[in-house]
Each structure stands twice: as C-alpha cells, then as structure tokens.
Amino acid sequence: MFKTYIQEINNIRDLESVINYYYPNQLKRNKMSCPFHKDKTPSFSIVHKGNGAFYKCFSCSEGGDIIKFIQKTENIPFIQALQKAYEILNKPLNLPNIKTNTSKSLNKENLINFYNNKYEKSLQEGDLDKAFELSCKSDEVTNKKYNIIYPFVNKKGEPMKMKY
Ligand SMILES: [Zn+2]
C-alpha cells in the first residue's frame, strides 16, 4: 500500500510542476541550472521514461524522481517528502480511518501526540504504510485545515471533526 502512494505520485509524471514550485520559471526545454551545485551551464535536465519522470545533473550526477527531488530540496525524510508531493501536485490523499481508542478528553495537542507516537512506533516496526498514514494524519491536525472540537468521539471511538 505504501508503494501505491509512491506509485500514484510517480504516475502523475509531473516533475515540472514540482520544480516550478521551488524554482519558478527556471526550466527551459526541460533543462535548467542545477539547484544542487553551483552550475554555470544548465546541466540539470528532466526525462520522462518508463513509469515516471526523473531528473539528472550531468555535472554533479545528482538524480532521482519527484519524491527524491523534494526530499533533497527540503532536506526532509522520505515520508514527509511523499506527503509534500501530494500537496504540491494537488492530489487528494485518501487515507483509511485510524482508530484512536482514547478517552473522551481528547484535545488537539493530545491527538497530534497520539498520531506522532504511533508514527514513531510504526517506523520502528518498519510498517511504512502505517507510518505514512499517521504522519499525514498528524499534519492534517497540525495544519488546522479544520477546527476540531473535542471531546466528541463517534461510536467507533474516533475523534469527530467539525468544520465551521
Ligand atoms: Zn548538479
């Protein structure tokens, strides 16, 4: 499943949009000066091949796919880079519901901690599917995309979101 999340991003093949997000108007005919080293000539280029879009610098030999580009540019871990890819490419993430099983006194901070602790645990266990989903959940709460009112918990014990 984690592979599916990666695949979804690579299938979009839109490395151009990601590069434009960080370096607007730099790309010309799939080439630009390499952002990863001091580059006088445009040694950095994009190729579409097989199941994705890739970049390669012929001078410093840095290369990779969309997620690697984000990871390298932002200097963040792979899972966060994958999340960021969804954000930049405006692709909705359909995450499964994650059970919280906690008491009714959930507040926002507790919920973030809850997801973060589970995230760390999943990472240690090598469950990347879960880790990715939990990391997204935690960000979703942190980013205040909606206001959360607790202590409302639904029948399954999951926290309820309320938009207003
Ligand atoms: Zn380079």
Measured in degrees and rounded to the nearest 5, phi and psi for residue 8 equal -55, -40
Determine the Cα–Cα distance for residues 138 and 111; give it in Å rounded to an integer: 8
Per residue in 16-54, pLDDT tens?
Answer: 999 999 999 999 999 999 999 999 899 999 998 887 899
pTM > 0.75: yes or no:
no
Fold that domain 2-88 belongs to in CATH:
DNA Primase; Chain A (3.90.580)
Per residue in 81-104, pLDDT tens?
Answer: 999 999 999 998 877 766 655 544
| Domain map (residue ranges) of the chain | 2-88, 95-164
Give me ligand 1 centre to Cα 53, in Å: 17
Give me ligand 1 centre to Cα 43, in Å: 7
DSSP bridge pairs for 55: 46, 64
- Our separate counts of H helices and E strands in the chain read 6, 4
Give me ligand 1 centre to Cα 68, in Å: 14
Determine the Cα–Cα distance for residues 62 and 78; give it in Å rounded to an integer: 16
